Amino acid sequence: MSERLGASVGSLDGAERLQEAAKAIATPIAVEAGQTVVHQGEVGAGLYVVESGALDVVVVAGDELRLPVARLGPGSHFGEMSLLTGTPVSADVVACEPTALYALDAEQFARLIAANQGLLEYLAGELALRLSRTNEQLAAQRRHHAALDRLIAAPRGHPYRADLPSMARATGAAQAPEDDRPVLIVGEEGCGKRSLAQYLHSLNARSRHTVLVVECGGMAAGEAREQLFGDSPPDAVTRFADRLGLLQAADAGTIVLADVDRLPRDVQADLAAFLLTQSRPRASSHVSVRVMATAARSLDDLRAQGGVDDALAEAFAGGYLLSLAPLRKRRRDILPLAEHFLEWAGRRRGVPAKHLGDSARRDLLSYDFGFGNAAELRQVIELAVTLADGDTIASEHLFFGPAAAEAPQIDLLRRPWIERVVLGGRALTAAKVLVALSFAGIAAACLLLPQHPLGRFANMLVWGVWWPALIVSMLLLGRAWCAVCPLSSGAEALQRACGRRRAPPDRLSEFGPVLALLGFVGIVWIEEAANLTHHPFGTALLLIGLAVAAALIGWLYQRHAWCRYLCPLGALGGVFSVVSSLRIRARREVCAASCTGHECYKGTDRSGGCPMFNHALHLTNGQHCKLCMKCLQDCPHQSPRLVLQPPLRDTWRSDLLSPDLVPLAAVVGVLVLLLAATRTGHRGAPVGNLWFGVGCAAIAALGLALAALFAYRRRTDSTRDVSWTARLVYAYTPATAALLLAFHLHALSGLSDVSLSLATPRGAVAGLSMLQLGEGAAAALGGAMTLWALWRVCRLRFPVALLNAAAVWLALGALAVTSVALALAWLA
């Protein structure tokens, strides 16, 4: 047999001899179009000689990129390198049309080589020639392919659900399996345009081939054409060339050009020429690719603003123009998408998927996802899965919007002594102990010695010193008082000793702001109706009642649920903190590069995490931050920082002001006016009249109506208008706080006995008490701060020209408000 083979092929050249030898000892194999003969990475099983037909040699790079590098026709052969060296096959070989092959297994190949030494020399020479050519092209191709790799978007392990009803309505006739017309998908950033394109690809007959998503914004102006077309002309892009492009990589499949309007204009014209060839009959050596593209603006807007070439616009106009609405306008998709992301996260972690609690569902449906649409929803869900210890995702696990934006600020931790005090924790612990002992002593004196001068002095400290100091501290330092509050400290101690540590129920987060609102109205009513400024025993009962309520909530639920959801004074601090300057800010670059454990929220072995259910990276304001410094102490990467920012900045700059506290802010403002209107002419006399009780009840009803209105609008409308309304209400908080401070200064009766007298040129004497001066100064400062905040908030809503025209009226109105505030404070 061997002798016969050697004699039969001795007079022919190498390729012909190999083909004649294969015919003599092997039977033909029929291969259908699309069938893979050998697979990249596998050790070759034989030598193949092409009798008829054609095959493509395709290099597979990752899951998405498939580069055709050669075409094999009749007389070609492949597989010999793997047989000779024992190395894996370096590429796929796929039939591009019905093909006939001769296959020699390893044993047959060995006998053939042994029978004909010249054939072995021919194969060795062929391998050497191929290797030489490869080395010559390798350096240039490596750089070229690396550039292509950077342009191709990473495959998504968590594709969006594109089979939602809204998606189906958006796609329309573009779902036809055999339709290859181009598609342009328009929509806001992150609303799922790429996923919709991939979904359309999955419905098309090309679904068994590659789909490439290409970032057009990453193409350099001088290299975009070569990256897209290789070295082929746009109207005749061939499958095989010295330099391949992305269209060759997507041959027989689909290419998705993300942000197609960011392509250079000359390349857009080339793309239009390529699309024209795809609608006509073409040679078998030319690529066949369905082109889809995405853009943030409509085709009409792109043409009007010069963002797209006219020829390319005409090419897309002849295909399908799909518009994908933002997530806030298709709210029925929010929960199905969120549950899909939860399932994906569970599969990735190898654990059962978590489920959404009622409060989380409510918050998801009420948020407008204006920063990233479905992409933002995915980020919110992924972070929530990481933060939730149990099987239920609750509202406290959801953090919306971008990370806190950079702003002019002073990093206090750059001062070494401040860093030692803050991170050490001893100063805060000492302050907690001191405040707790002081309040215990005050409550005991008021309870046990109500008629004794010591009891009356303790009562004066509560209403004349602590209340005004509390208001001032909230305006300057936000909720810093909450970090040392004795109610919080007592609840935390009881929780550590024997707490049940349950997760806060959904109803608590849903109705917490309403209960805090009613609690504040109740405290003010009790204070005035019972004349607590002159009744130490009643003051003691009020303090003890608050302490018992805080302890009960702390015993039942984990962390500081009382402070976050129910505390009336904490809610008041959340309102006034919009004005304050002290903040905790995380450094985004540190969190992105280093954070894996989210210790600022989850805590460490020695700490239970943020007591207020906050994530430092998403602290866009201080409304729910009590400045306890635990996140600074727990973070191993020192990302959270203690900073000072300009006062009032949050009223017009913060991305996410809580609308839940807006009803309370309005109630506090109206209550202050009610207190001033119903005060009798005798300082310290109890109000205790029917009209004051009716007024408090009416204000409470107003607060509940506002809460219901805001809750309704959050469920049925975008929160952007609510946010602007909230900014207007918060802009009045400086004046409200100033009047509340002036009201409580009356508890310091000694201030009215000290007066400042001024002699006029005619000899008359004008006198003002220190109480009147303090009230007037507080009201004037609060009015000026409110004027500035209102001006900045209105600039967000109205054109500057309109504001400039109305500036005089706005100033006069603010002056009138300030004058009324001064009159109310002085006449009191």
**DSSP secondary structure letters along 249-284:** HTTTSEEEEETGGGS-HHHHHHHHHHHHHHTS---T
Q: How far is CA 399 from CA 360, 539, 650, in A?
A: 11, 39, 18
Total-model pTM: 0.73
Q: Is 710 within 8 Å of 659 (Cβ atoms)? A: yes
Classified as helix, coil or strand, 511 is: helix
Q: Is 381 within 8 Å of 341 (Cβ atoms)? A: yes
The one-letter code for the residue type at 517 is L
Instruction: Give the strands of the sheet with 640-644, arranged side by side.
Output: 410-411, 640-644, 582-586
Task: Using 50 as the pLDDT threshold, list the residues of the chain that sit under it.
Answer: 1-12, 138-139, 154-158, 680-688, 718-721, 764-765, 825-828
Helix or strand holding residue 570 (H, E): helix 568-576
Any residues with CB less than 8 A from the CB of 351 and at least 6 apart, and which? none
Sign of CA dihedral 730, 731, 734, 739: negative
What's the confidence (pLDDT) of residue 611?
94
What's the confidence (pLDDT) of residue 644?
92
Q: Is 671 within 8 Å of 719 (Cβ atoms)? A: no
Helix axes 536-556, 506-529, angle to 10 degrees: 170
CATH topology of domain 329-397: Helicase, Ruva Protein; domain 3 (1.10.8)
Tokens 């601090």: give the residue.
573
Tokens 């190999």: give the residue.
18
Six token digits for residue 117? 């030494």
Measure the CA–CA gap between 133 and 440, rounded to whole angstroms. Answer: 88
What's the confidence (pLDDT) of residue 629?
93
What's the confidence (pLDDT) of residue 131?
60
Any residues with CB less than 8 A from the CB of 264 and at least 6 apart, and which? 219, 221, 224, 225
CB-count exposure of residue 704 (10 Å: 0-12, 13-18, 19+): middle
CB-count exposure of residue 212 (10 Å: 0-12, 13-18, 19+): buried
What's the CATH number for 165-325? Answer: 3.40.50.300
Q: Is 158 within 8 Å of 195 (Cβ atoms)? A: no
What's the confidence (pLDDT) of residue 405?
55
Six token digits for residue 271? 């793309």
Q: Report the top-level CATH class of 2-141.
A: mainly beta
How far out from the chain centre does Cα 306 lie? 32
- Among 401, 358, 395, 357, CA closest to 379: 401
Q: Is 151 within 8 Å of 244 (Cβ atoms)? A: no
Helix or strand holding residue 136 (H, E): helix 117-151
What's the confidence (pLDDT) of residue 761?
58
Tally of CB atoms within 10 A around 548: 13
Long-range contacts from 280-286, C-beta under 8 angstroms, 24+ separation: 283/236, 284/96, 284/97, 285/71, 285/238, 285/239, 285/240, 286/236, 286/237, 286/238, 286/239
What's the confidence (pLDDT) of residue 798?
75
Tokens 């000290």: give the residue.
754
Measure the CA–CA gap between 589 and 592, rounded to whole angstroms. Answer: 5
CA atoms within 13 A on the CB side of 579: 32
pLDDT digits (tens, 9 = 90+) for 480-538: 999 999 999 999 999 999 999 898 888 888 888 899 999 999 998 988 888 898 899 99
How far out from the chain centre does Cα 680 lie? 53
CB-count exposure of residue 10 (10 Å: 0-12, 13-18, 19+): exposed
pLDDT digits (tens, 9 = 90+) for 579-618: 999 999 998 888 878 888 899 999 988 888 899 999 998 8
What dihedral do alpha carbons 521, 522, 524, 529 form, nearest 10°? Answer: 130
Classified as helix, coil or strand, 195 is: helix
How far out from the chain centre does Cα 596 lie? 16
Measure the CA–CA gap between 674 and 687, rounded to whole angstroms. Answer: 11
Sign of CA dihedral 661, 667, 670, 672: negative
The one-letter code for the residue type at 744 is H
Six token digits for residue 72? 């094999």
Measure the CA–CA gap between 594 and 597, rounded to whole angstroms. Answer: 9
What's the confidence (pLDDT) of residue 580?
92
- Domain ranges in the chain? 2-141, 165-325, 329-397, 410-651, 659-827
What's the confidence (pLDDT) of residue 807?
60
What's the confidence (pLDDT) of residue 150?
57
What dihedral do alpha carbons 588, 593, 597, 602 form, nearest 10°? Answer: -10
What is the largest distance, in Å, between two alpha-carbon atoms of the chain? Answer: 141
What's the confidence (pLDDT) of residue 680?
46
Measure the CA–CA gap between 171 and 150, rounded to whole angstroms. Answer: 29
Measure the CA–CA gap between 637 and 616, rounded to whole angstroms. Answer: 12
Measure the CA–CA gap between 107 and 112, rounded to whole angstroms. Answer: 9
Any residues with CB less than 8 A from the CB of 576 and at least 6 apart, and which? 471, 474, 475, 478, 733, 737
Tokens 């929780």: give the residue.
495
CB-count exposure of residue 397 (10 Å: 0-12, 13-18, 19+): buried
Q: Is 53 within 8 Å of 98 (Cβ atoms)? A: yes
> 67 pairs with which residues across the strands?
59
What's the confidence (pLDDT) of residue 14?
67
Q: What is the mean pLDDT of the chain?
A: 81
- Among 508, 513, 507, CA closest to 575: 513
How far out from the chain centre does Cα 704 lie? 31
Q: Is 14 within 8 Å of 117 (Cβ atoms)? A: no
